[in-house]
Amino acid sequence: MKRVVITGMGTVTPLGNDVDTFWKNSLAGESGAATITHFNPEKFKVQFAAEVKNFTPEKYLDKNEIKRSDLFTQFAIYASAEAMEDSGLDLASIDPFDIGVIWGTGQGGMQTFEDDVIDFATGDGTPRFSPFFVPKLIANMASGMISMKYGLRGINYTTVSACATANTAFMDAFNYIRWGKAKIIVSGGSEAPITQASVGGFSSMKAMSTRNDDPKAASRPYDVERDGFIMGEGAGALILEEYEHAKARGAKIYAELIGAAMTADAYHMTAPHPEGIGAAKSMELALEDANITSEQVDYLNPHATSTLLGDLAELNAITKVFKGSPNLDISATKSMTGHLLGAAGAVEAILCIKAIQNSIIPPTINISNLDENIPVGINIVTEPKEKEINIAMSNAFGFGGHNSTVIFRKI
């Protein structure tokens, strides 16, 4: 099969609206969490989130694109535009049917749905829905609008697997390219979930932190006082390209995607399997796909959302797979970004690639008291750590029992 490399990256995050700023603030251990500004959270149990700041879609989107798209699509187009610019692709020299878009989102146009339904419900019963209501709402519109912006006529669709979504998109793009079905695929995930219904819904499940008095310290994976995740928003985009094609055009190559896998827990709607059976198998299959051993993995960016059950279940799985490998370092970067749901795997893949590129691991912040139930032999990085990283793994898991793993290698 053909090899697949990363030749472009782009992002919009609570820590910065381009890859360099995002990376700089991650190394600095910044937190993107603060009181919600998207709506008045005064009556909500959870009153904070990790919002994107100073977002100016006009940098990459024209007026019509902004008018006709939900925020999750704007994030997607913006991140993809940065990635396309970064890749140096000359689209005029490439068959448009050789370039596709496989994009992911967990919720789609949540704000669009909420706004129009509230308007209808509080009116006199006369339906006055926007003609853009459905196009802005549906999850596949991000991939569609990215393709329209650049005239990309290849494979085009959207993946949805809750918080595993972006990794699912990467895995599909990886497979299509190595099977020879495409030369280049724009792939990633975006999410704009900080709405009244979404925050209220997750809060009612008791899945989110309620540390309203100290938002920046609220996302605390592995800490004994962790009490749930912080909702985040944004997007991450990668340009995945067939290696020989990239080499022939003299492309800058960041890393190689060498393995990917997915499994299901088949256990519970929202809780992970306590022994991490599905998560462990996802990592094992990804290692097998990459044709490497667990001892070769230098860095792992875990799912680690800061929930009581989820953090330990994943660490149990990691212990099973890596068996205390002294080479493995772990850092849980959701402690800084919050949880971007369907976009989480995308921004964490970028951090893995930047770690490979710069030989430094970003930290886990907010650990004051390490949970005594953390398995022995787990090395959690709490300060930026210089280390040569040849291979990095990233996990993303989602409600419904979806487990996903991707592996990147220095090239």
**From 273, 339, 352, 402, the catalytic residue:** 339
Asked whether residue 187 falls in the same domain as residue 314, the answer is: no
Q: Is 282 among the domain residues?
A: yes
CB 83 within 8 A of CB 7: no
Asked whether residue 357 falls in the same domain as residue 311, the answer is: yes
Residue 275 in this model has a pLDDT that exceeds 90: no
Q: pLDDT tens across 50-75, in order? A: 999 999 999 999 999 999 999 999 99
Of 248, 270, 291, which residue is a domain's last? 248
Segment among 118-127, 213-222, 385-394, 402-411 with least mean pLDDT = 118-127
For residue 270, the model assigns a pLDDT of 87
Q: pLDDT tens across 115-142, in order? A: 999 999 999 899 989 999 999 999 999 9
Asked whether residue 291 falls in the same domain as residue 188, the answer is: no
For residue 140, the model assigns a pLDDT of 98
Among 186, 191, 195, residue whose Cα is nearest residue 105: 191
Q: Is 40 among the domain residues?
A: yes
Of 248, 275, 310, which residue is a domain's last? 248
Mean pLDDT of the chain, nearest integer: 97
Name the pLDDT band for 271 (thresholds 50, 70, 90).
confident
Contact partners, residue 52, CB within 8 Å, separation at least 6: 12, 13, 14, 17, 75, 233, 234
**From 38, 268, 273, 303, the catalytic residue:** 303
How many Å apart are CA 410 and CA 337, to the nearest integer? 25
Q: Is 253 among the domain residues?
A: no
Q: pLDDT tens across 335-359, in order? A: 999 999 999 999 999 999 999 999 9
Rounded percentage of the chain residues whose pLDDT exceeds 70: 100
Name the pLDDT band for 390 (thresholds 50, 70, 90).
very high
Could you tell me how far CA 16 lies from the centroid of its own chain? 15
**82 CB neighbour count, 10 Å cutoff:** 22
The mean pLDDT value for 258-269 works out to: 95
Asked whether residue 370 falls in the same domain as residue 308, the answer is: yes
Q: Is 255 among the domain residues?
A: no
**From 163, 273, 352, 402, the catalytic residue:** 163
* Kind plus residue range of the DSSP H or E element containing 345: helix 344-358
Q: pLDDT tens across 282-302, in order? A: 999 999 999 999 999 999 999
Is position 303 annotated as part of the catalytic site?
yes
How many CA within 13 A on the CB side of residue 348?
A: 42
Residue 94 in this model has a pLDDT that exceeds 90: yes
Asked whether residue 210 falls in the same domain as residue 264, the answer is: no
Asked whether residue 243 falls in the same domain as residue 265, the answer is: no
Instruction: Give the 3-state secondary structure of residue 80.
Output: helix
Instruction: Give the 3-state secondary structure of residue 147.
Output: helix
For residue 28, the model assigns a pLDDT of 98
For residue 72, the model assigns a pLDDT of 98
CB 355 within 8 A of CB 361: yes
Asked whether residue 279 falls in the same domain as residue 369, the answer is: yes
The mean pLDDT value for 168-172 works out to: 98
Could you tell me how far CA 168 lies from the centroid of its own chain? 10
For residue 124, the model assigns a pLDDT of 87
pTM across the whole model: 0.97
What CATH number should be reported for the domain holding residue 227?
Answer: 3.40.47.10
Domain range spanning residue 369? 260-409
Asked whether residue 21 falls in the same domain as residue 149, the answer is: yes
Backbone dihedral region for residue 206 (phi beyond 0: left; psi -120 to 50: alpha; all else: beta): left
Asked whether residue 143 falls in the same domain as residue 30, the answer is: yes
The number of domains in the chain is 2
Tokens of 312: 């330990």
**165 CB neighbour count, 10 Å cutoff:** 33
Tokens of 213: 């008095």
Asked whether residue 133 falls in the same domain as residue 275, the answer is: no
Beta bridge partners of residue 402, listed in sequence order: 264, 398
Of 248, 275, 294, which residue is a domain's last? 248
Q: Is 73 among the domain residues?
A: yes
CB 222 within 8 A of CB 311: yes
Sign of CA dihedral 399, 262, 142, 157: negative
Amino acid residing at 49: A
- Within 227-381, strands assigned E span 234-242, 255-264, 299-301, 329-330, 360-361
Q: Is 254 among the domain residues?
A: no
For residue 394, the model assigns a pLDDT of 98
Asked whether residue 215 falls in the same domain as residue 279, the answer is: no
Is position 352 annotated as part of the catalytic site?
no
Asked whether residue 237 falls in the same domain as residue 329, the answer is: no
CB 334 within 8 A of CB 221: yes
CB 167 within 8 A of CB 260: yes
First CA to last CA distance, the chain: 17
Q: Is 67 among the domain residues?
A: yes
Name the pLDDT band for 213 (thresholds 50, 70, 90).
very high
How many CA within 13 A on the CB side of residue 248?
A: 9
Backbone dihedral region for residue 180 (phi beyond 0: left; psi -120 to 50: alpha; all else: beta): left
The mean pLDDT value for 205-223 works out to: 97
Distances from the Cα of 372 to the Cαs of 155, 224, 298, 350, in angstroms? 48, 8, 24, 31
* Kind plus residue range of the DSSP H or E element containing 11: strand 4-12
What Rg, from alpha-carbon coordinates, does the chain have?
20
Tokens of 404: 């996903």
For residue 6, the model assigns a pLDDT of 98
Amino acid residing at 1: M
